[in-house]
Structure 1
Amino acid sequence: MRTRMKVAIGAGAAVVAVGVVAGIYGPGLYADRASEAADDEPTLGTSMAPLADTEAAEGTWTVGDGSFAGYRVEEVLQGADVTVTGRTEEVTGSVTVTDGTITAAGIEVDIASVATDETRRDQYFRDQAMEADTYPTAIFELTDPAELRSGATAVELTGDLTIHGVTQPATVEAEVAGDASGGGPVQVIGSVPITFTDFGVEAPDLGFVSVEDEGSIEFSLQLRSGA
């Protein structure tokens, strides 16, 4: 699933600006505010049931409204653990299913639109860390077919992930559910761990605040049938 996940991998970069923000609010207050602002991990909607018949999912599915992608990263601010998340709904792409198997997928997310609770962090993320003017998209492209199983939600997606102009192999642990026979929506959620330096992004360390070298990309896609 060559999902150009423009969003996610900016995690480490986005947090670099935290030093400026923490200096304004103070470490203790900033840590509390950041943790409270962090988004929950993606989950399947309560109305989403496992696919009863994978053959009903035959065809091309397009990413629609209600989809999002983003990143999750942990930072340490003067000994306090802080979770930071960034999100965007600027996600496009499609997924193709043939004989109950995902045979192709391509998703794009607009890097410049990824946002957190702090505009200073977001500006650093866009302009310096991710260099969005030069690398406007992040991409995950499916390289191996992924079989869907009737009555089950789990599916493993193997592909190439491109961030900041660097492509690395990636495995996404995903879940799929919804009403394929009715044309959708079908929801796909998942995450993939990343190491920032693998994509040419350095995790910041400003002394009083540091970012873990690893984070994760998260997404929730709302798919609808249509060529």
Structure 2
Amino acid sequence: MGPAQERKGPSVRTGMKVAIGVGAAVVAVGVVAGIYGPGLYADRANEAADDEPTLQASMAPLSDTEAVEGTWTVGEGSFAGYRVDEVLQGADVTVTGRTEDVTGSVTVADGAITAADVEVDVTSVATDEARRDEYFRDQAMEVDTYPTAVFELTDPAELETGATSVALTGNLTLHGVTRPATVEAEVAGDAAGGGPVQVIGSVPITFTDFGVEAPDLGFVSVEDEGVIEFSLQLETQE
């Protein structure tokens, strides 16, 4: 994992660039809405939104935390992304972006998660709309400069036998800005059988905290708050 770059906020020039890019993307959305109508566009967008991450039916609460001690790596089937709400001429729209390009590791010792580093390739996050994705990558997130998002655990998180809920406290780095974050997560798996462990979770964010401005052009607005979501399939490290 590369070192995180830290800054207090965007420059005026960067802020203008983000605002202009958002405007272009929102106008494109407005054209689509004009063709389909706000209601039909909202229905179409909401149907395309991914469901919130959930534990797989095959996963169960950990029956023995000692069975999961060691270092685990993020494996195939993992994903991460964002969820944000838009309002288009009174119609509510939920948009989700996803990528399976997630890497990292999680360490468990003495009944607790003692270390975790997860990195997401922001350049590959995609929604159902190519023009929205182009704005997200090039303007809002400036992926040429800040291609990844990283979460790093800073405090041990106790695992309780028979329970799934766990709070992960750490630092989230997004768009070159590092801020403390608490992830409400769930952990489950086939620990006794040595099978995979799944970790799902989400963390609410305010985009301006990370130097990203949400657009509001009257006919369409994007909420300034959103959610980062993830589902990790953890495999034992060889």
Query: TM-score when scaled to structure 2?
Result: 0.87
Of structures 1 and 2, the one scoring higher in RCO (CA 8 A, sep 6+) is: 1
Task: State the structure with more CA Rg.
Answer: 2
Q: Structure 2: which 5+ runs fail to align? A: 5-17
1:20 to partner: Cα distance = 0.6
Asked whether the equivalents of residues 21 and 30 of structure 1 are also in contact (C-alpha less than 8 Å), the reply is no
The SS at the match of 1:84 is: strand
Distance, in Å, in 2 between the alignment partners of 1:82 and 1:196 is 18
Q: In structure 2, which of residues 213, 216, 220 is the aligned counterpart of residue 205 of structure 1?
A: 216
Asked whether the equivalents of residues 184 and 223 of structure 1 are also in contact (C-alpha less than 8 Å), the reply is no
Distance, in Å, in 2 between the alignment partners of 1:184 and 1:163 is 32
Aligned to 2:45: 34
Alignment pair present for 1:23 and 2:18 = no
Amino acid at match of 1:124: Y
Alignment pair present for 1:149 and 2:160 = yes
1:81 to partner: Cα distance = 0.7
Aligned residues: 217
Alignment pair present for 1:103 and 2:114 = yes
1:25 and 1:111, CA in 2 relative to 1: closer, same or farther beyond 3 A? same
Structure 1's consecutive aligned runs of 4 or more residues displaced over 4 angstroms after TM superposition are: 12-16
Distance, in Å, in 2 between the alignment partners of 1:207 and 1:164 is 26
Q: In structure 2, which of residues 200, 204, 218 is the aligned counterpart of residue 193 of structure 1?
A: 204
Alignment pair present for 1:173 and 2:181 = no
Aligned to 2:225: 214
Q: Structure 1: which 5+ runs fail to align? A: 5-11
1:22 to partner: Cα distance = 2.8
1:33 to partner: Cα distance = 1.1
Q: Sequence identity, in percent?
A: 81
Q: In structure 2, which of residues 70, 76, 95 is the aligned counterpart of residue 59 of structure 1?
A: 70
Distance, in Å, in 2 between the alignment partners of 1:210 and 1:147 is 40
Asked whether the equivalents of residues 85 and 116 of structure 1 are also in contact (C-alpha less than 8 Å), the reply is yes
Asked whether the equivalents of residues 98 and 125 of structure 2 are also in contact (C-alpha less than 8 Å), the reply is yes
Distance, in Å, in 2 between the alignment partners of 1:152 and 1:117 is 35
Amino acid at match of 2:230: F
Asked whether the equivalents of residues 26 and 215 of structure 2 are also in contact (C-alpha less than 8 Å), the reply is no
- What's the Cα RMSD here? 1.8
Asked whether the equivalents of residues 22 and 140 of structure 2 are also in contact (C-alpha less than 8 Å), the reply is no
Distance, in Å, in 2 between the alignment partners of 1:154 and 1:25 is 40
Aligned to 1:8: none
The SS at the match of 1:207 is: coil
The SS at the match of 2:113 is: strand
Q: In structure 2, which of residues 171, 175, 178 is the aligned counterpart of residue 160 of structure 1?
A: 171
